[in-house]
Chains A and B, each alone.
Chain A
Amino acid sequence: MAALDRRALLKAALATSSGLVAGGCQRAQRSFNGELLSPSLGAGHQIRDGFVPQPDLENWEETEVAIVGGGIAGLSAAWRLQNAGIKRFQLLELERVSGGTSRAGETSFCRHPWGAHYVPVPGADNAPLWQLFDEMGVVNHAAGVPEIMEDVLCREPQERVFAGGHWTEGLYPRAIATEEDLAQRISFQDQIAKWIDWRDRDGRRAFSIPTALASDDPEVLTLDRITMSEWMQTQGWDSKPLFWLVDYCCRDDFGLSVDQTSAWAGLFYFCARRESSAQEAPPVLTWPEGNGRIVQFLADAAGPQLRSNRAVTAVKDQQDHVQVISFDTKTKIAHGLRARRVVLATPQFLAPYLISDCPTERKTDASEFQYGSWIVANIQLTDRPAELSYPLSWDNVFHNSRSLGYVVATHQSGIDHGPTVLTWYLPLCNDVPADARHRLLQLSWDHWAELIVGDLQQGHPHIQSLISRIDVMRWGHAMIQPRPGFVSSAARKRAAVPLDRIHFAGTDLSGVALMEEAFYHGIRATEEALLAEDNSVPRFYEALPRRGQG
């Protein structure tokens, strides 16, 4: 599938009857406004351009561990440190709000996500994540076996798709499927079942979460050599609804089309969350603000150790400690930190800019990491659009669109009437990621608003009069892209190896952008740092007993 073409998308949007007229006079008619947002680009580009402020003597501090980056990986690192009883650490976050792409936003009447918005119920072998959820108070022990509480499991109706002129339940576009399509879908499910039950000689699964626990058998890794669509073609499938479904899932989880995603990653999506094909896909945990709730819990737990508005500009290894130079973007004061160890919980592409005298091999490896760009828009509505077919769900998808549709922020709170916020997602699946970032910065709020309204009008012809505001976030490096060859590459593995006292976390080290992977790497990197000083620290992923429903 070709890269997202704005003109094509606009054309598709304009093909709807109301869009036809909107194209000419929408600007004058528009009764809403909004903002074009982006993560702290300015500070980021300053660092890229080599800006290193010098802290005054009185602004130097000492600490055990410095964590750089307050996304899920960095916050999980702080959580792991606290679990090990370590209170002397600092977490330096560039932005005013932590969470990275899992952050939340707020309107006068509800909170809403700005990115990641759900986590599937973890498998029984992901005991550390069960422990986190337990601490968050969303695990119910009343039934003996721990269960996730009802109010955080996504409420029905969970998802619907707009195809053939109306909404139907689920993601698969049944409305336009023929008998042959349905037969191919079953054949696809059989293949998935086969891969779920696949085990290597050591009893490891082909795909698991965290990915680090999965098999590295060549039979599995060869899947990383071809794209998902190539793999599907070798199975003899050509069903359009099936390809659409898989393409949607790839764009949803990886920001890549089915033609760009590694078959390993595509199968990972369908297989990793089920230990056996007899199990159903697990329900998902979600909150009105998406994974922002997890961020909030972890940030609260980190307390004053979490320093916001801190742009880290240099990380220097000094033999017996590491110097971390940062710059307060608010007070404009430079700070120095002498830490015994550093957990660098940023995307890997930043490592060469942050680490002073970064080895050339590390720079080469980092350049192998490619990131996709995303647009996430929050659309405030004064009321719900009228519904004639399957009712408004949590996740609402348009079959005939390159967007991923929208989730409804008030859904999980059970608010079924009145104002709401729709969070709309669009991955930019360009073949060259830099092109997407270029486009991201080029287009104005008006362009995005026009495109978003046109997209929504496919399923809601009269929605424009209900919109009171549209805020548009441009994520330049939204998520790591598992294109063929990356997951099995040596560069990816090497990037996780510590540089002396600097330990690396970040979901991109897994090749897939998932909350569970970020959490895993935060814990893994922290344990590595701790074990280097004290070999009695337990490794959570080995030490904690299985939890939850098996």
Chain B
Amino acid sequence: MNRAPLFLLYINVLIIATCGLIYELLAGTLASYLLGDSVTQFSLIIGIYLSALGAGAWISSFVHEKLARCFIEVELGVALVGGFSVPILFLAFGYVSWFQPLLYGLVFLIGTLVGLELPLLMRLLKEEVDFADLVSRVLTFDYIGALVAAILFPMLLVPNLGLVRTSLLFGILNALVGLWGTWLLRPLMRQKGLSALRGRAMLVIGLLVAGMIKAESVTHLAEENQLSGKIVHAESSPYQRIVVTENKTGFQLYLNGHLQFNSVDEYRYHEALVHPPMSAVEAPQRILVLGGGDGLAVREVLRYPSVKAITLVDLDPAMTSLAECFPPLGTLSEHSLQHPSVTVINQDAFLWVDTAHEKYDVAIIDFPDPGSFSVGKLYTSFFFNRLRQVLTDSAVLNIQCSSPLVSPESYWCVVTTLEDCGFEVQPFHATVPTFGVWGFALASATPLSKPLNLPVSVAAELRFLDQNVMDHLFVTPRDLQRVDTEVNRLNNQVLVHYYEREWSRWQ
């Protein structure tokens, strides 16, 4: 071989070294992303990978002939296994219970193959170059490759390509090194089978390119594993990740991975949320809906002819305009948010309540569950006291407060907090198959002036409630009895702690 190809071989060393470290970094990042505890994950991945490099080097001693061909085969192997490692792991995380063995197994396999690369290459070159020069040059390029990877990975690759595409891209690089090798190392190979080898290399590259094109759907698919159907709409707003899935029964809305409703049985939830407070006030005119950007609660409110104005306050414009991107929601909500009496305000209700001047007859509170401090503040005594300032003296509010069966302390904490603010509270619950037993709290600043009377005209349109069923929602079964809790205040946010503790028991 003359000098030019030799230099090109060193470039090969640089590329394969870069690829090798990238796979290691990918596995470490993915493991800490999916499993948490980055210190443990990174040290395990690094340890396993390094030991696998050793294993690869040892195995190389058993290769005695067809060194060049073997090197190319190894390249193609690394390209396939390394290139597809991240998509495979992403998908597997949702499906298999043996994710960790798979992860470490893959890391070991990649490490072993990468460990084979350099010893094979060095033996290929040993006839051409002085041994001392060879070791020094190969190792130099190997370490430079590691540096390149270490810099590219956090600065360029992860921010711009993401994990899935980075993995596939470096797979392609490995495969190209293999393909290139069929020319570069040709003097060292027999002609027989060379075309087949090239064909295989092309196939591997083709597979990886196809993977690159389909990378977005891999992410989708991975998300779908953790949700319960096919993703039909997904977007990330500045506030949350909004995903709509569909299965045979209907469609489901997820915010940050938490189910908000299922179109099959959402009517049960929204009828229980809206009709008790609406039927507790004589001819309610001005209605406040907090949260509920899907428009389903407003749909129920619009059944009352006395209603003159509805104000809906929801943080996320992406949520209140979701029906435009996903028409089935518009149909389900009967385009309620388009109704002329509805005013949509996209603001954090916590801040809006300070700026509101009008008073409302009914308030319907449909915030997400208090799983974070920024939502938890909307269930505090401070917020409820402020809210009272925008309610008429005889107003009635109803608030969803998670499941009294799964999370009794969370549920009763909301009730206790409302009572601490001077509200009269009537706890009740309804069964929503998708959620299970769900809790609400009907509250008013003064004792209710009249019994709950569901207007006949409204009842005729409902699928879940009638007068009798509504009355029975307020009967507390023996397993939903009250528990003592603290008051949820801004400076303790006990509700978030209750909620986290109680729901984590069920996961």
State whether A165 and B39 are in contact (beta carbons under 8 Å apart), knowing that A151-B382, A414-B351 are contacts in the complex.
yes
B306 interfacial contact with A, CB 8 Å: no
State whether A383 and B238 are in contact (beta carbons under 8 Å apart), knowing that A155-B491, A165-B38 are contacts in the complex.
yes
B350 interfacial contact with A, CB 8 Å: yes
Please give the distance in Å from A121's CB to the nearest CB on chain B.
10
- Chain A residue with Cβ nearest B159: A462
B196 interfacial contact with A, CB 8 Å: no
B183 interfacial contact with A, CB 8 Å: no
CB–CB A156/B351 < 8 A: no
Partner of B154, one of A17, A414, A416: A17
Interface 0/1 of A151-165, CB less than 8 Å to B: 101111110000011
A18 interfacial contact with B, CB 8 Å: yes
CB–CB B39/A164 < 8 A: yes
* Bound Cα distance from A17 to B158, whole angstroms: 13
CB–CB B377/A166 < 8 A: no
- Chain B residue with Cβ nearest A465: B159
A391 interfacial contact with B, CB 8 Å: yes
* Bound Cα distance from A418 to B154, whole angstroms: 25
Centre residue among B238, B373, B381 by max chain A CB count within 10 A: B373
B26 interfacial contact with A, CB 8 Å: no
CB–CB B489/A150 < 8 A: yes
Please give, as numbers and ranges, the residues of chain A lying within 8 Å of B351 by CB-CB distance: 413-415
Please give, as numbers and ranges, the residues of chain A lying within 8 Å of B492 by CB-CB distance: 156
CB–CB B491/A157 < 8 A: no
Please give, as numbers and ranges, the residues of chain B lying within 8 Å of A332 by CB-CB distance: none
Partner of A150, one of B238, B380, B496: B380
Q: Give A392-427 interface residues, CB cut-off 8 Å to B.
A: 413-418
* Bound Cα distance from A150 to B380, whole angstroms: 10
Interface 0/1 of B366-397, CB less than 8 Å to A: 00000011101100111000000000000000
Partner of A155, one of B159, B238, B377: B377
CB–CB A414/B155 < 8 A: no
Please give, as numbers and ranges, the residues of chain B lying within 8 Å of A283 by CB-CB distance: 491
Interface 0/1 of B130-157, CB less than 8 Å to A: 0000000000000000000001001100
- Chain A residue with Cβ nearest B315: A417
CB–CB B374/A153 < 8 A: no
* Bound Cα distance from A481 to B484, whole angstroms: 47
* Bound Cα distance from A166 to B239, whole angstroms: 22
CB–CB A417/B238 < 8 A: yes
State whether A415 and B348 are in contact (beta carbons under 8 Å apart), knowing that A150-B380, A150-B381, A156-B493 are contacts in the complex.
yes
A443 interfacial contact with B, CB 8 Å: no
CB–CB B372/A391 < 8 A: yes
Partner of A416, one of B38, B155, B374: B374
Q: Give A150-186 interface residues, CB cut-off 8 Å to B.
A: 150-151, 153-158, 164-166
Please give, as numbers and ranges, the residues of chain A lying within 8 Å of B238 by CB-CB distance: 383, 417-418
Please give the distance in Å from B312's CB to the nearest CB on chain A.
18
A44 interfacial contact with B, CB 8 Å: no
Interface 0/1 of B82-99, CB less than 8 Å to A: 000000000000000000
State whether A156 and B491 are in contact (beta carbons under 8 Å apart), knowing that A150-B380, A414-B348 are contacts in the complex.
yes
A21 interfacial contact with B, CB 8 Å: yes
Centre residue among A17, A21, A414, A416 by max chain B CB count within 10 A: A414
B490 interfacial contact with A, CB 8 Å: yes
Q: How would you classify the secondary structure of chain B's contact residues: helix, strand, loop or mixed?
A: helix
State whether A156 and B38 are in contact (beta carbons under 8 Å apart), knowing that A151-B382, A417-B238 are contacts in the complex.
no
Please give the distance in Å from A22's CB to the nearest CB on chain B.
10
Partner of A18, one of B155, B373, B374, B491: B155
- Chain B residue with Cβ nearest A150: B382
Centre residue among A21, A156, A166 by max chain B CB count within 10 A: A156
- Chain B residue with Cβ nearest A284: B491
CB–CB A154/B154 < 8 A: no
Please give the distance in Å from A410's CB to the nearest CB on chain B.
10
Please give the distance in Å from B66's CB to the nearest CB on chain A.
42
CB–CB A417/B348 < 8 A: yes
A461 interfacial contact with B, CB 8 Å: yes
Please give the distance in Å from A454's CB to the nearest CB on chain B.
15
Partner of A153, one of B154, B239, B490: B490
Please give, as numbers and ranges, the residues of chain A lying within 8 Å of B382 by CB-CB distance: 150-151
CB–CB A153/B155 < 8 A: no
CB–CB A155/B490 < 8 A: yes
* Bound Cα distance from A164 to B376, whole angstroms: 28
* Bound Cα distance from A283 to B496, whole angstroms: 18
Please give the distance in Å from A233's CB to the nearest CB on chain B.
30
CB–CB A157/B493 < 8 A: yes
Please give, as numbers and ranges, the residues of chain A lying within 8 Å of B151 by CB-CB distance: 20-21
- Chain A residue with Cβ nearest B382: A150
* Bound Cα distance from A519 to B350, whole angstroms: 34
Please give, as numbers and ranges, the residues of chain B lying within 8 Å of A416 by CB-CB distance: 348, 373-374, 377
Centre residue among B239, B372, B492, B496 by max chain A CB count within 10 A: B492
Q: Give B479-493 interface residues, CB cut-off 8 Å to A.
A: 489-493
* Bound Cα distance from A383 to B490, whole angstroms: 23
Please give, as numbers and ranges, the residues of chain B lying within 8 Å of A417 by CB-CB distance: 238-239, 315, 348, 374
Please give the distance in Å from B410's CB to the nearest CB on chain A.
15
* Bound Cα distance from A352 to B223, whole angstroms: 71
* Bound Cα distance from A417 to B380, whole angstroms: 19
CB–CB B491/A414 < 8 A: no
Centre residue among A21, A416, A461 by max chain B CB count within 10 A: A416
* Bound Cα distance from A237 to B298, whole angstroms: 62
* Bound Cα distance from A17 to B157, whole angstroms: 14
* Bound Cα distance from A136 to B155, whole angstroms: 50
CB–CB B491/A154 < 8 A: yes
* Bound Cα distance from A259 to B40, whole angstroms: 34
Please give the distance in Å from A221's CB to the nearest CB on chain B.
36
CB–CB B154/A461 < 8 A: yes
Return 10 A-B CB contacts under 8 Å, by A number.
Answer: A150-B490, A156-B496, A158-B491, A165-B39, A413-B351, A414-B351, A415-B351, A417-B348, A418-B238, A462-B159
Q: 4 extra interchain contacts, Cβ-Cβ under 8 A, other than A156-B493, A165-B39?
A: A156-B496, A383-B238, A391-B372, A415-B351
Query: Would you list the 7 A-B pairs with minimal beta carbon distance, nearest first?
Result: A156-B493, A416-B374, A153-B491, A150-B382, A414-B350, A155-B490, A17-B154
